[in-house]
Amino acid sequence: MNFDITEIINEMPDFESHEEARSWFKKEYEDRISYKGSEEVDGKRVHYYHLIKEPESYRNYMESFGKLQEHEITHQDTFESYSTIEISEDGGISFSLY
């Protein structure tokens, strides 16, 4: 399944909180959204998610981090298998361009 980021932006409502945005993405994309962590940026908590476009490529990429051997990315498809979504505590959204 390929996601058109512009279409997603046009379809999503304005969010007032991280929780509201997270709920919407979980409802819309179910198991295609994965939480990756958070950090403080300019005094605001920002939460990072991956919107998974190509589950098999994405799964292989994520599993490679669990291996003791050094992993090497040899193909751009790895990075095209997902887009990163940043959701701030106040519901602001930012997407990666992939």
- Give the pLDDT confidence score for residue 13 in this predicted structure: 96
Q: What is the mean pLDDT of residues 61-76?
A: 68
- pLDDT over 70 at 1, yes or no: no
- Give the pLDDT confidence score for residue 79 in this predicted structure: 73
- What are the strands, taking DSSP E only, across the chain? 33-41, 44-52, 82-88, 93-95
- Give the pLDDT confidence score for residue 74 in this predicted structure: 59
Helix (H) or strand (E) holding 61: helix 55-64
- Give the pLDDT confidence score for residue 59 in this predicted structure: 87
Q: What whole-number distance in Å separates Cα of residue 83 and Cα of residue 98?
A: 6
**53 compared with 65, residue with greater pLDDT:** 53
Q: What is the mean pLDDT of residues 59-71?
A: 74
- pLDDT over 90 at 97, yes or no: no
Q: What whole-number distance in Å separates Cα of residue 27 and Cα of residue 62?
A: 23
